[in-house]
Every structure is written in C-alpha cells, then in structure tokens.
Structure 1
C-alpha cells in the first residue's frame, strides 16, 4: 500500500501464536536507496518479494534493511534476504540491539522463556524450541549501529527515535517531510484505535511509558504500526490519552 511518495506499507499474512494475522514492514524508496524496515518471520522471503512486486518495486534494488528491534517477527527473514542478494544489502539497527541480532546475547524474550522453561506447559516448550531455532538461523552482522536523534539521508530525511522498553534498543523512525512515524512495536492499531503494545511482552514497562511520552514532541499525522497498520488523525491527542491513562 502506497502511503506517500516513496513510502509503502507492506501487508504480509502471518501466523502469530496460532492466530492468523498480518504484519506491516515498511518500504522507503528514493533515487539512491531502497530501504526495508523489518523483515517478517523466518521463511517469509517469498512473501516479502511478492509484496515488492505487487507495488511495482524491484526486489533486486533492495540495498538496506533497518531493524526496529530484535524480535523474531522483525528479524526473521533478514538472513535469507542477505543470502538472496549477496554483498548488496546493509543491515542497520540501534547500538543496544546489535549483540542480540548477531547472536552475542540471547534475545530477551527467549531468555525470559528459558528462565521459566521447567515450569512451562508442553505447548510453550515447543514454542521455545521453535523460537530458539528461529533466532539461531536469523543471526546476522549489523553493518551500522544507530543512535537517538540520528538523521538518515533517505526520503528527505529520517530521524532515529530511540524508544526502549519493548526491547532494550527498540527504535521508531520519523519521516519529517510527511509527518509519518514508523512505530515498530511501541504502538499498535486495534479495531481502528491506536493503542500501546501489550505490557506482557515488554522488556521494561517503565521505559516503554517514557518512550511513548517522548513521541509527543514530534509532529505526527500518520503512524505505521507493525501490528495493525495505519493510524491517521489527531495522533498527538491520542498519544496524550494513552499517557494519561497510565
């Protein structure tokens, strides 16, 4: 789905904990670069490629991946993308996420499950093993680390917004020209309403609350949520409501 000139939201079917869903990576395309923000679950390379083709964008032009954070539904197909386009695609992520993405540290959600493994029901132990395998197969080197406030020279300028809480190094991306926030998992859309991510899946809820408050200083008219898609309207007012409800 084309959002603005050079900005596309992909809509990729997915199965999340046994439930049919849709995830929404974002594409940013200008004359010099084709950037994919987040890469779906493991095994979704073909669906990602088909989504490019549906928008009339050549997958072979992809030269950059930005990972908003370490979760398996965001990094899952990055290793397959690098294999498909060898030597072409650079991987960007926040400096706090690098060690989790390249395998030096155990991803926080996997570590949390491992700590409780002996107490988990059998179905959760199966999920743990699948997650463990998925993360092991998705390890990649991060070519460039990002920091808060950094300006990336794509699509008229994209600001890196460090929003820890969901994970230690979660980021959003703000496209000033179009007043668009690519929110990763700090926010989602449910039944047409912008909401906070489920507290149960956050690494640190206090940090997450601070990060949501931080978004209020940006002039946002459109939010692209990885889960739930597009939200338009009085975004600042809605974020204020979320903060006031805390």
Structure 2
C-alpha cells in the first residue's frame, strides 16, 4: 500500500498477527525495512511488485531488531536478488541477527519450556533466516538514502531496537517500540518487551522529531497528532 510517493507498506500477516515492513524508493535505492516471518517470501514478492519494482531490485535491508518476525525472510531475499544487498542494523543487534549469539528471546530457559517439536521448529526457522549484517548503525546517525533516514536507538523491546525517522515524509518507522491497537497508538507490548521501563524511557527521544506519521510494525499507520499521543503514553507509565 502506497502511503506517499516512494513510501509503501508491505502488508503481511496471518490469523494471529499483522506485520508491516516498509519499502522506500528513490533513484538509487530500493530499501526494505524488516522482512516478516519465515516462508513469507512469496507474499513479499507480490506486495513489492505493487510498488512497481521487483524484489530482485532491493539493494538495502534495514532491520529494526532481531526478532524472528522481523528477520524471517532476510536470507531468502538475499538469495533471490540480483543485487548485492547491504544489511543494516544497530550494532547491539548484529551478533543475534547473524547467528553469532542465540536470539535473546530464544534463551535456553524459554527453549526448554517448549515441546521438542516447537523448539526444533524455532531453531530451524532462525537458522534459515540469519544472515550477515554488513553495516552497523548507531543512535543519532543519518543514513543518506531516500531523503535522509535518522537512526533512533530505542532499547527496551530488545537492547538494540531502533526506530527510523524518514525526513522526507516526516514519518517514524517505529518497529515494535509502539503498536497500533483498534486505531489507537499504544506503547510497547509488555508481553514481548524485555525491559518495559527502558522501552517507555526510549519513547522520550521521539519527541525531538517532527513526526506527522507513525508506522508501527504491528498495527500500521497512526496520524492523529502522534507526538501528543506519544507524550500521553509516556505520562501514563510514569
């Protein structure tokens, strides 16, 4: 779905969860932010084509963080492109995305609590998804793509979680730092957030940006005075 010229939501989902990777285009770059769950490559190909481009033309993938529903098709997309793909993520997420460390939410304790079948499935999905991060990004850095993409380190959901402010569109790609539920912008989901206190504290950084649109990975777009709503979320938790 096109939000604005050069800015598109890739609508993925199943019966349990909706996911919204972002596709950004300019004259030199075709950038995908996050990649959905494993085995959704066919749907991504279909959705990307709606923007008038091919998945084979993607030359950069930016990841908000390490969770499987965000990195799930990373390796598959790399294998199915004709370009060298630069993979970008916050420096703290790199070892988890490329498999140097097990994902934080796949700790031995959590894996042992699963059935053997579920445990083996999770490990197999992650092993099929992992790929090298070729460029790390840090808080406050501006990427010179598509009108400028500002990196905002927003730890809490995971230690290296990052949001991305798209200057040209005054749009915040929020990852899992916030969610949209029943049309309303809400904070990070406490069930899946490692450190809620830190996650709420991270939202304070967002008030420094001229945000007119928030795009949450789960829930999609929010445009109703987003900065005021972000401040409300912060105050509710203080």
Report if TM-score (shorter chain) is over 0.5: yes
Q: From the superposition, tell whether residues 210 and 56 of structure 1 become closer, same or farther in structure 2 (CA, over 3 Å).
A: same
Q: From the superposition, tell whether residues 121 and 175 of structure 1 become closer, same or farther in structure 2 (CA, over 3 Å).
A: closer
Instruction: Please say if residues 78 and 138 of structure 1, whose CA atoms lie closer than 8 Å, have aligned partners that are also in contact.
Output: yes
Separation of aligned partners in 2, 1:68 and 1:116: 22
The aligned residue for residue 5 of structure 1 is 5
The aligned residue for residue 55 of structure 1 is 51
The aligned residue for residue 64 of structure 2 is 68
Mean Cα displacement is larger for which, 57-66 or 225-234? 57-66
SS at match of 1:230: strand
Post-superposition Cα deviations, 1:68-97, rounded to whole Å, max 9, x if no partner, equal 100000000000111112552111111000
SS at match of 2:145: coil
Residues 94-173 of structure 1 mapped to structure 2, 5 A cutoff: 94-111=90-107, 114-118=108-112, 120=113, 122=115, 126-173=117-164
Separation of aligned partners in 2, 1:10 and 1:102: 23
SS at match of 2:14: strand
Correspondent of 2:165 among 170, 174, 194: 174
Residue 184 of structure 2 is aligned to residue 190 of structure 1: no
The aligned residue for residue 206 of structure 2 is 215
Post-superposition Cα deviations, 1:147-198, rounded to whole Å, max 9, x if no partner, equal 1111111121110110111011100000122210000001110000001121
SS at match of 1:28: strand
The aligned residue for residue 46 of structure 1 is 42
SS at match of 2:168: coil
Instruction: Please say if residues 110 and 128 of structure 1, whose CA atoms lie closer than 8 Å, have aligned partners that are also in contact.
Output: no
The aligned residue for residue 85 of structure 1 is 81
Runs of 4+ in structure 1 deviating by more than 3 angstroms, as ranges, are 125-128
Separation of aligned partners in 1, 2:102 and 2:171: 32
Mean Cα displacement is larger for which, 130-139 or 218-227? 130-139
Task: Tell me the TM-score normalized by structure 1.
Answer: 0.92
- The answer for unaligned runs of 5 or more in structure 2 is none
Separation of aligned partners in 2, 1:88 and 1:30: 17
- The answer for unaligned runs of 5 or more in structure 1 is none
SS at match of 2:191: helix
SS at match of 1:243: helix
Q: From the superposition, tell whether residues 90 and 231 of structure 1 become closer, same or farther in structure 2 (CA, over 3 Å).
A: same
